[in-house]
Amino acid sequence: MATKRYAALLRGINVGGKNLISMPDLRAAFEEHGCTSVATYIQSGSVVFATDRPAKGLEGELEAMLERRFAIPLLVVVRSHQQLRAIVEKAPAGFGQQPDTYHSDVIFLKAPLTTGQAMSVVRLRADVDQAWTGTGALYFQRLSARRTASRMSSIIGTPQYQLMTIRNWRTTTTILGLLDELARPSG
């Protein structure tokens, strides 16, 4: 089977002093699981790696491995290099391009959660929030000057939120860049 490149997006680690996992320990867990070219990005719970394991079932396999290793149940959303590239390339026009004006996030969804189900819990405040659907993701943008008035936090606590993980636009595009680097031939 051919080796493919993926991003694993872990939800809820290193947030507010809870579920603390060091990035060296996280990299080691993936490497010991047989993944190669493992890299992490800041303390965000974002891991890029290569594997020849089948994509089907990879999320559950990684969740089980991480729970055994760290004794913390974690949600893992996996996107292939191609899937993440499509999420970035198909973002709404101008999304993430004005970071001084708008705070832009990608909400990654784990199946079986659909974009329609996820959008059903998104509440928008007029003149502050905007949201769009994508493939396996939502794009959420809020006016930086009025960020505290945003209703984005209204999704927290909903059953749908249990199948979501959020990355800001800069982190999302940086993870794509790491996957691009991984794809370049060495030498």
Tally of domains within the chain? 2
Q: How confident is the model at residue 18 (pLDDT cuts 50, 70, 90)?
A: confident
Question: 15-24, 46-55, 141-150 — which is least confidently predicted?
Answer: 15-24
**Which CATH number belongs to the domain containing residue 56 in this structure?**
3.30.70.1280
- Do 65 and 135 fall within a single domain? no
**Which CATH number belongs to the domain containing residue 119 in this structure?**
3.30.70.1260
Contact indicator for 19, 66 with CB cutoff of 8 Å: no
- Do 65 and 76 fall within a single domain? yes
Q: How confident is the model at residue 44 (pLDDT cuts 50, 70, 90)?
A: confident
- Do 36 and 108 fall within a single domain? no
pTM for the structure as a whole: 0.93
- Do 95 and 151 fall within a single domain? yes
| Structural domain of 31 | 4-84+177-183
CA-derived radius of gyration, the chain: 16
Listed as own residue / partner, the contacts of 24-28 with beta carbons closer than 8 Å and 24 or more positions apart are: 25/70
- Do 53 and 119 fall within a single domain? no
- Do 139 and 98 fall within a single domain? yes
Q: How confident is the model at residue 16 (pLDDT cuts 50, 70, 90)?
A: low
- Do 135 and 151 fall within a single domain? yes
Q: In this predicted structure, what is the pLDDT of residue 19?
A: 78
- Do 16 and 46 fall within a single domain? yes
Can you name the residues that pair with 75 across neighbouring β-strands?
11
Answer whether the bond into residue 92 is a cis peptide, omega within 30°.
no
- Do 101 and 163 fall within a single domain? yes
Q: What's the mean pLDDT when you consider all of the chain?
A: 92
- Do 59 and 70 fall within a single domain? yes
Neighbouring C-beta atoms of residue 48, cutoff 10 Å:
25
- Do 17 and 55 fall within a single domain? yes
- Do 103 and 135 fall within a single domain? yes
Neighbouring C-beta atoms of residue 108, cutoff 10 Å:
27
